[in-house]
Amino acid sequence: MRKTFSVSVLSGKGGVGKTNLALNLAFCLHKGGHPLLLMDCDMGLANLDVLLGLTPEHTMYDLLETSIAPQEIVVPIEQGGFDFMPAASGLTDLIEMDNDTREILFQRLMPLFSSYDYLFMDLGAGISSTVLSLGAMADMRLVIITPEPTSLTDSYALIKMLHSQYSIEDFHVVVNQAESPAETKQAFQRLAAACDKFLGFHPKFLGGVSYDKALPEAVRRQTPLMRMNHNSPAAKDIFSIAVKVQRHRASVMETLSDTPLLEEMHKKEY
């Protein structure tokens, strides 16, 4: 049976580009030869379907309310195993799922996960109990920040909560929307310094994604940037981060032989 590597994509606050990065990183990893399930886990304000220009007939909520099979909810994005699991939006009982509800949901989903190399969970912003529990269960946590002070303080609060409640010290940080490498470095260093001083550990820097007008254009077209313009500056940054995600998966799962697949991707056309 295939071992699925789970990645949670988190942010302390909204508006940092978390969902867009989750979508495009997932697109990269799929193009690298990996079947991947992208789950919209923002139960309060689900919007991955909007970025993809989709109107799903069913959502994860149906798994709790009906006998529908998980496979009937999944929406294919690309051929070859890049699939999307939509979430319901605006349902308060899912925003703050209790342990029993969460267990029921994932028990129903578990057989589906084994079809994929990656499970990418795009979590809601902030520190709700659902965000914290799903963030804690992942094999890898990507924390998306911007250079804005509010993003840094809220992301520190998110990291602090996961550390205090689940004793987690393994975080990978991506700096988005920076206007220069110096600003990227400074933003990460400010967050890392707070973690060093008050929590006693140092998060890992995964990379920065440049401010790029091609990204909002991709949003307007409701298509992944990596599909629309994979040579844009932000797309190249996202690709570099995806390579690091794959290397981390390989080191964790001791399957180093699959690492070159993604690194060969730049030779191909999308």
Question: Which tens digit of pLDDT belongs to each residue from 185-213?
Answer: 999 999 999 999 999 999 999 999 999 99
Q: Which of 118, 136, 233, 257 is nearest to 181 (CA)?
A: 233
- pLDDT at residue 183 is higher than 90: yes
Question: Which tens digit of pLDDT belongs to each residue from 13-39?
Answer: 999 999 999 999 999 999 999 999 999
pTM, two decimals, is: 0.91
Q: Is 90 left (phi over 0), alpha (psi -120 to 50) or beta?
A: left
Position of tokens 């965000």?
131
Question: Which tens digit of pLDDT belongs to each residue from 231-242?
Answer: 999 999 999 999
Question: How do the domains of the chain map onto residue ranges?
Answer: 5-267
∠ CA 225-259-261, nearest 5°, is 55
Q: How far apart are CA 235 and CA 210, in angstroms?
A: 9
Q: Which of 163, 151, 158, 166 is nearest to 127 (CA)?
A: 158
CATH, domain range 5-267: 3.40.50.300
